[in-house]
Structures are given as structure tokens and as C-alpha cells.
Structure 1
Amino acid sequence: MNYRFMRLMVLFDLPMQTDKDRREYSRFRHFLLENGFIMMQKSVYTKLVVNNVSSRALKDRVRSHLPPEGLVELLEITENQFGRIEYLVGEGQKTVLDTMDRLVEL
């Protein structure tokens, strides 16, 4: 098996008008966190995957846990592309995790 590190990004915009909407949002967000995704922004989560096989399996898991309403997008990029993200930080936040080092979460 060839190991080519990739990042799977989940971008979503879910309705938050009703209690049911908020429950679905919370359920989806907790699913992402329980499956090793890390929040980059409020509705942008990312996870490191080792190859195309694991990426496809993870995409299938995300598809099987979609909320009934709203928009969810999946974006797969290489680790090099992810490392070239340019962070533009304004007044609100002074610190950003900006490194090519691998993050190991236990």
C-alpha cells in the first residue's frame, strides 16, 4: 500500500433556526470530532488521511452521517497543498497553528 498523506476537509453550512436544526448541527459536529477531525474554522474541519483508500472510507462515513438539511462539502487536498495555506489573521485572533509538523492526537 502506498502512503500519500492527504487532508480531507469538510465544509458545511447548516440551518440553525429551530431546536431540531441545532440538534442536527450538534450531532454532525460531534460525529466529526469523534472521528478525528480538527476544527479550522467554525464550519471547516480537517483530518489527515494516509492514502486514497482511507480517504474514500472516511468520505463514505461522512456521507452516512449527513444532516437532513443544509450544505456539506468534501474537499481532498495533498499535505503539501495544505501546508501552503496562507493564514491571514486580523485583530480578533493573534495566534494560529501554522506548521508543517504532523499533529498526533491520542
Structure 2
Amino acid sequence: MKAYTDFRKNLQKDGFTMFQFSIYVRHCASSENAAVHIKRVKSFLPEYGQVGIICITDKQFGEIELFYGKKASGVKTPGQQLELF
């Protein structure tokens, strides 16, 4: 678990943000810049880790359709009980 945590922290230090659970994104201005960050990701990959990287254009990213279902209702915590002395 520590290896995953360290990997996630390294991604964040390199400018990646979580897009969805286990999916991180980072904007790169050029393919050369993307190559630099891909090399960095490879350098801090855990020994038994597996990562897939895909490069897409700004336009392709902008065309992503996001769908959301209903938010799960939170578990209600019971209010404090009144104590009489």
C-alpha cells in the first residue's frame, strides 16, 4: 500500500490531478513535454505497478462527455443524546 501512496504523491508532485478513481490527468503543451512527464512516471513506477498512458489533444479532451448518477446519501449519524442528572 505504501508503494501506491508514494506513486500517487509523485504523480501529484509532477502536476497530475485525479480525474476519476485511479485515473490521473496532466496537461502538456507539446508532445516533447509529454515525453518528459512519461519518462518521469516510468521512473517512479512501483516495482510491481502497471500504468497505461494515453496522449490526447486538447480538443479530444474537451469532447469528453461526463455522466453523473444520483449522489449516494450519506450515512446519518445519530444526534447526541440528552443526559439528565
Q: Name the TM-score class by shorter chain.
A: 0.7 to 0.9
1:35 deviates by 0.8
Indicate yes or no: 2:50 matched with 1:71.
yes
> Runs of at least 4 residues of structure 1 off by over 6 A?
none
SS in 1 for 2:51: strand
In the aligned structure 2, how far is the partner of 1:68 from the partner of 1:51? 29
Flag structure 2 segments of 5+ consecutive residues without an equivalent. 73-85
1:92 match: 71
What is the count of residue pairs matched by the alignment? 72
Provide the aligned C-alpha RMSD in A: 1.2
Distance 2:49 2:70 in 1: 30
SS in 1 for 2:42: helix
2:15 corresponds to which of 13, 24, 36: 36
Q: Does 1:60 align with 2:60?
A: no
1:45 lines up with 2:11 in the alignment: no
| CA deviation map 1:54-85 (0-9, x unaligned) | 11111001011111113210110000000000
Q: Provide the rounded CA distance (Å) in 1 between the counterparts of 2:61 and 2:10.
A: 23
Identical positions, percent? 35
* Structure that is richer in strand per residue: 1
Q: Aligned partners of 1:57, 1:70: CA distance in 2, in Å?
A: 20
From 82, 85, 94, the counterpart of 2:61: 82
Q: Distance in 1 between the 2:5 and 2:40 partners?
A: 17
Higher-RCO chain (CA-CA 8 Å, sequence separation at least 6): 1
Residue in structure 2 matched with residue 99 of structure 1 by the alignment: none
Structure with max Cα Rg: 2
